Amino acid sequence: MSLRRSYTVIAPLYDTLLAAAGTGLRAASLGQLPQQGELDILISGIGTGLDLPHLPPEHRYTGLDLTAAMLDRVKPRTGNLSLNLVRGDSMSLPFADASFDHVVLHLILAIVPDARACLRETARVLRPGGSVLILDKFLKPGETAWFRRMLNLVSQHIVTRLDVVFEEVLAAAPELGMARDEPVLAGGWFRSIRLVKGDRQVEWK
């Protein structure tokens, strides 16, 4: 089953499965965004819009997702946010270079078939000094995790990958540097990560 097809099917169940478990983690990750200013922020893999209640309202947001079924569920949650919804692929973003001040990648790197392509594209559309906020599940370098890897043979074709090693993904985008890496759930399987493009961070107003 293709990723587009599987997430079209599970869209009605997505909130039931993920909303309660991830609320605090999403809020903590998005709390790193500047609270003031008028910045351009991309939410790549916006899903049903579970991030929206935790976003500072001052900025201009673009929400991208692969499926129309997911984007349809975002619209009622928009509220007063300046939000442009785009149907597209996180591995091949339909945006010009250096279009965004910050990019949010919540539960997307372990879903897309090619996490390295996703992060490379993220780096491409990010402005120098900008940041990438990541919340996802990753194996540690060298971790055997035989059960997860075995389960991944099925899960990668339906919902998510269970074999992604973040350090291997990061190597594909050398212009991004690690600014924060915190284990947040399941013994460090889930991590909250912030990357910065280049040596200089943008001034957060």
Q: Is pLDDT of 9 > 90?
A: no
pLDDT at 1: 46
Give CA–CA dist 67/189, Å, rounded. Answer: 27
pLDDT at 156: 55
**Mean of pLDDT values over 69-81:** 92
User: Sorting pLDDT into bands at 50, 70 and 90, what band is 18?
Assistant: low
For residue range 135-157, list pLDDT tens digits in order. 999 988 776 665 555 654 555 54
23 vs 59, residue with greater confidence = 59
pLDDT at 27: 93
pLDDT at 166: 96
CATH pick for 3-197 out of 2.60.40.1930, 3.40.50.150, 3.20.20.70, 3.40.47.10: 3.40.50.150
Residue ranges of the domains in the chain?
Answer: 3-197
- Listing DSSP states for 79-143 in one string gives TT-EEEEEE-BTTB-SS-TT-EEEEEEES-TTTSS-HHHHHHHHHHHEEEEEEEEEEEE-BPTT-
For residue range 87-143, list pLDDT tens digits in order. 999 999 999 999 999 999 999 999 899 999 999 999 999 999 999 999 999 988 776
Q: How does the average pLDDT of the chain come out, rounded?
A: 84
Give CA–CA dist 48/52, Å, rounded. Answer: 9
